[in-house]
Structure formats: C-alpha cells, structure tokens
C-alpha cells in the first residue's frame, strides 16, 4: 500500500471512530506537519514558538477534537494549517497582551525586537482581514487557508475543497485582491 493510500485509509478509520487511529496517522504526516509549521512561523509568530512546539501544540488540539468530515490528505493538511494558524495567533495575542498589561520593564532599543513586533502586528491584521473575508465569502477564506497558510498547490487546494482548479485560481486572485484592500484601507 502506498503512503497516500495508507493516510486515506487511516482518515476513514478515524471517521469510523476506531481508537488509536490518530496516533498512527500523525507519524505518517509528521514531516508535512513540520513543513506546515515552518510555513506558519514565517510571518512573525515564532518569537515564542518553534516548529516542533507548533506541531506538538497542533497535535494536542487535533487529538482533542478528532476532526470530522476529513476525507483525504489535502483536507487533513488544511485542517492542520488552520489549527496551527490559530495556535500562532493565540500566541501572538498573549504576547501582545502581556506587553500592554504587564509591569513596565526598561528596555534598550533592539532592532530585532522591533521587527518581530511589527511582524506580530501584521499577522494580527492579516488574521482580522481573513476573518472579515470569511464573513464575506467563506470559500474565499478556505482558498486562502489552503494556498497561503497550508502552502497547497492549486490542484491540492481543489482536492481539499472539492472544487475545480479554475475556481481555485479565480478565487485565489479575488481573495488576494480583497485582502490587499482590507489591509491597506
């Protein structure tokens, strides 16, 4: 049995509620989860998280929920990327809240810290824009999650969302335009 077929079989077993399935699935996709985590942390959420910590946090959250309705590897990776994005956003929000509400500590200007804080602000702005995009058109938001946050190709995104490649291409262009407008206004 090839790698993709084994993953699909385990996802079917997971939907059937077979115990231990999730723990057998994760080692098969661990390298891809590491890539997803690395991809997620490129936007500035990595000041307190590293790739391994993000994968493990996502594992804990996913193992609690035992996501329903996942039919294939691409959908599983999309769900994982959403969970990882939420972990990163929560981490940034906690860091920002501590910065605003914690006791004052004198600091010398550190250019790296300034860049990290700017990236954190941009990541929060992107998350807010994506939430607004989801309110406007949930499918556009799913395409962004697949293409930008999960790093899926057009073909993989089409498979994950059950739509055609041309639709993915059109929605990707439209979503980027709308996000750009939201972020610059």
Angle at 67 between CA 62 and CA 69, to 5 degrees: 155
pLDDT of residue 171: 97
- CA-CA distance, 37 to 33, in Å (whole number)? 6
Q: What are phi and psi of 163, to 5 degrees?
A: -130, 170
Tens digits of per-residue pLDDT, 25-45?
A: 888 888 888 888 887 777 555
Q: Report whether 49 contacts 41 (CB < 8 A).
A: yes
pLDDT at res. 179: 93
Is the predicted pLDDT of residue 138 greater than 90, yes or no? yes
Note the pLDDT tens digit of each residue in 157-181: 998 899 999 999 999 999 999 999 9
Tens of pLDDT, residue by residue over 106-127, are 444 444 444 455 677 888 888 8
Tokens of 185: 């206004």
Is residue 125 within a helix (H) or strand (E), and if so which, with residue range?
Answer: helix 111-136
Structure confidence at residue 108 (pLDDT): 44
In this prediction the pTM is 0.70
Determine the pLDDT at residue 95.
77
**CA distances (Å), origin 85, targets 6, 45, 64, 88, 169:** 26, 9, 17, 5, 22
Confidence of residue 9 (pLDDT cuts 50, 70, 90): confident
149 CB-contact burial (10 Å; exposed 0-12 / middle 13-18 / buried 19+): buried
């Amino acid at each position: 049995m090839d790698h993709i077929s084994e993953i699909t079989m385990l996802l079917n077993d997971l939907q059937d509620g077979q115990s231990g399935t999730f723990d057998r699935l994760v080692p098969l996709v661990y390298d891809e989860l590491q890539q997803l985590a690395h991809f997620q942390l490129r936007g500035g959420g990595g000041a307190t998280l590293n790739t391994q910590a993000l994968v493990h946090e996502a594992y804990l959250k996913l193992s609690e929920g035992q996501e329903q309705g996942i039919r294939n590897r691409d959908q599983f990776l999309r769900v994982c990327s959403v969970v990882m994005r939420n972990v990163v956003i929560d981490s940034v929000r906690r860091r920002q809240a501590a910065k605003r509400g914690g006791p004052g500590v004198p600091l010398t200007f550190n250019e790296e810290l300034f860049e990290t804080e700017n990236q954190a602000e941009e990541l929060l702005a992107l998350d807010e824009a994506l939430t607004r995009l989801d309110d406007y058109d949930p499918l556009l938001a799913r395409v962004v999650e697949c293409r930008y946050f999960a790093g899926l190709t057009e073909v993989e995104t089409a498979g994950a969302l059950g739509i055609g490649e041309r639709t993915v291409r059109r929605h990707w262009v439209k979503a980027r335009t709308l996000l750009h407008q939201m972020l610059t206004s």
